Amino acid sequence: MDLSPVVTARRQVDPVYALELTGGPSGQENDPDALRERLHNEQLRLHEEGDGDNTHWWTDVPDGMDSDGQNEIANDEISPHTGRQYEYQ
């Protein structure tokens, strides 16, 4: 699962999250490399919290996530802001 849509959806419903993600802890950063690193770290965090798989057992390269993990991530990250429950179909 590409986690970019989850990050994008949460950014749209949670302005504090969006500010921290785009502007760093101070909300004032304007460094494209730092933004790329924050996005990468956030996608890895979601991948790990959703119990995502890696390409091989000896690497930490993300490879995918099952539907339970996808439901968990959507419900943990987006539901509190929308009041909806999500279920992978």
State yes or no: pLDDT of 80 exceeds 80: yes
Domain presence at residue 47? yes
Quote the pTM value.
0.74
**3 state SS of 64:** strand
Domain presence at residue 88? no
| Containing structural domain, residue 33 | 4-82
Domain presence at residue 49? yes
Judge whether 42 and 60 are in contact, CB under 8 Å: no
Residue 55 phi/psi, 5° resolution?
-60, -35
Task: Report which of residues 59 and 49 the model is more confident about.
Answer: 49
The number of folded domains in the chain is 1
Judge whether 71 and 54 are in contact, CB under 8 Å: no
**3 state SS of 43:** helix
What mean pLDDT is predicted for residues 79-86?
Answer: 89
Domain presence at residue 50? yes
